Amino acid sequence: MSRLVSFVQRHPRLTAWIVLAIGMVAILIWSARDVGLLPGQWAALIGATIGVAGLCVWIIGWEDEEETSGESGSPGNG
């Protein structure tokens, strides 16, 4: 358990991506279970969903980067 906690502390964005992707893929599978998709279509949808989850985490991380650079007291920040 301590290895998991240390991994989460060292890699918070990767952890967020994994958790968000699992949740989004679960919702996708539950929502589209009766549509009758082919295996290739499922693979493409799941791959795109994982990519979107990564983009979401990356975009949310922009705010963290701005706060960090704003706190450093770099010139031109006010």
Encode pLDDT of 21-72 as tens digits: 999 999 999 999 999 999 999 999 999 999 999 999 999 988 877 777 776 6
| Look-up of token digits 């975009």 | 59
Give the residue among 52, 62, 64, 58 at the shortest CA–CA distance from 23: 52
Q: Are 50 and 16 in contact (CB under 8 A)?
A: no
Structural domain includes residue 73 = no
Structural domain includes residue 69 = no
pTM here is 0.77
Residues listed for the chain: 78
Number of structural domains, the chain?
1
**Dihedral pair phi/psi, residue 43, rounded to 5°:** -60, -40
Structural domain includes residue 20 = yes
Structural domain includes residue 2 = no
pLDDT value of position 76: 55
pLDDT value of position 62: 87
Host domain of residue 57: 12-63
